[in-house]
């Protein structure tokens, strides 16, 4: 398994670009993690370009507002790329009559796009930003709806590939869980956020612009707590990954609030990934 480190400083030398996950690494949806924010700020002070790369279905401006409201300091990152940003291209290239599956707060995703939001029975495509009520609902509640989509072979655009995220001290379901279930029904799902390439391309364009040159793959470090999104995405795009263990997978290997190294190793090996290092929380 990868080595366990104490702080980001232990491995930061040699990297010019840091692509940091947001939810579960920088904040928990309710409050920021001060040590993580401080670590990213130090990285910037040492000349590294920090890009926050998030599977939020919202566009960048909305997420910036959310970060400010939560209390994430603006000086701990240079750029921000969201799944919502890159998903807009999928929406623009897809059907015009869209059924929106998710919260009304995500409707800014469609601003300026030549689409029409319609009821389910009138739709020629679905865009999913999440569950209608992620506090009380589960993916199983959508089985009949997904079956109806599948019977009409509707394309399903997923704006947030995460299966679950931490909100405070609980896990809530995300759009990725519904995209997973729709794919298992044989439906056509389309995703641009992590672990897929478009969001990494967008992030590196911004980073390279700030660097004034193109960063080599071995100069880029990703940070995240999701194996199926952050870790898989980094590995698939030839980027080293620092795995944050105290995230959505913690119950798989935590013992009394700290990772059991043997269980952590078994967990990572079971998924076929070896991060360059692991850390309990970013600091």
Q: 183 with 201, same domain? A: no
Counted domains in the chain: 2
| 138, 168, 191 - which closes a domain | 191
Spell out the residues 6+ positions from residue 156 whose beta carbon is closer than 8 angstroms to its own.
Answer: 125, 126, 128, 149, 178, 179, 182, 187, 188, 189, 190
Q: 200 with 79, same domain? A: yes
What does the block give as tokens for 33?
Answer: 């993690």
Residue 144's domain spans which residues? 93-191
Q: Identify the CATH number of the domain in which residue 137 sits.
A: 3.40.50.1000
198-210 residues labelled b (16+ CB within 10 A) or e (exposed)? bbbebbbebbeeb
Q: 186 with 199, same domain? A: no
Q: 206 with 259, same domain? A: yes
| CA triple 235-281-205, angle to 5 deg | 40
pLDDT per residue of the chain (283 residues) written in tens, 0 to 9: 568 999 999 999 989 999 999 999 999 999 999 999 999 999 999 999 999 999 999 999 999 999 999 999 999 999 999 999 999 999 999 999 999 999 999 999 999 999 999 999 999 999 999 999 999 999 999 999 999 999 999 999 999 999 999 888 888 999 999 999 999 999 999 999 999 999 999 999 999 999 999 999 999 999 999 999 999 999 999 999 999 999 899 989 986 678 999 999 999 999 999 999 999 999 9
Q: 209 with 254, same domain? A: yes
Spell out the residues 6+ positions from residue 114 whose beta carbon is closer than 8 angstroms to its own.
Answer: 92, 96
Q: 114 with 153, same domain? A: yes
Q: 222 with 186, same domain? A: no
- On whether the CB atoms of residues 122 and 100 are closer than 8 A, the answer is no
Q: 77 with 15, same domain? A: yes
Alpha-carbon torsion 153, 100, 87, 18, what sign? negative
Q: 130 with 270, same domain? A: no
- On whether the CB atoms of residues 179 and 156 are closer than 8 A, the answer is yes
Q: 269 with 226, same domain? A: yes
pTM above 0.75, yes or no: yes
Smallest CA-to-CA distance from 47 within 260, 253, 222, 219 is with 219
| 165, 191, 217 - which closes a domain | 191
Q: 112 with 138, same domain? A: yes
What whole-number distance in Å separates Cα of residue 111 and Cα of residue 97? 14
Alpha-carbon torsion 46, 11, 72, 66, what sign? positive
| 191, 213, 229 - which closes a domain | 191
What whole-number distance in Å separates Cα of residue 29 and Cα of residue 37? 14
């Amino acid at each position: 398994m990868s080595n366990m480190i104490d702080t980001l400083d232990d491995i930061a030398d040699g990297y010019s670009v840091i692509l940091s996950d947001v939810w579960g690494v920088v904040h928990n949806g309710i409050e920021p993690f001060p040590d993580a924010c401080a670590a990213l700020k130090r990285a910037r002070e040492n000349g590294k370009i920090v890009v926050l790369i998030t599977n939020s279905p919202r566009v960048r401006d909305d997420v910036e507002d959310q970060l400010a409201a939560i209390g994430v300091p603006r000086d701990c990152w240079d750029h921000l790329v969201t799944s919502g940003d890159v998903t807009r291209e999928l929406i623009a290239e897809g059907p015009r009559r869209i059924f929106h599956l998710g919260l009304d707060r995500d409707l800014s995703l469609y601003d300026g796009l030549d689409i029409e939001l319609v009821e389910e029975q009138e739709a020629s495509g679905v865009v999913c930003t999440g569950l209608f009520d992620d506090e009380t609902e589960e993916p199983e509640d959508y089985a009949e709806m997904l079956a109806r989509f599948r019977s009409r072979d509707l394309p399903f655009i997923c704006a947030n590939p995460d299966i679950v995220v931490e909100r405070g001290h609980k896990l809530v379901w995300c759009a990725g869980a519904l995209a997973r279930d729709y794919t298992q029904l044989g439906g056509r799902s389309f995703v641009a956020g992590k672990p897929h390439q478009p969001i990494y391309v967008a992030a590196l364009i911004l980073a390279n612009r700030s660097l004034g040159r193109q960063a080599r793959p071995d100069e880029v470090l990703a940070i995240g707590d999701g194996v199926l999104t952050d870790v898989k995405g980094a590995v698939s795009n030839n980027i080293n990954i620092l795995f944050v263990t105290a995230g959505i997978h913690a119950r798989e290997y935590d013992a009394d609030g700290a990772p059991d190294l043997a269980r952590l190793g078994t967990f990572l090996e079971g998924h076929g990934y070896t991060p360059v290092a692991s850390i309990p929380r970013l600091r």
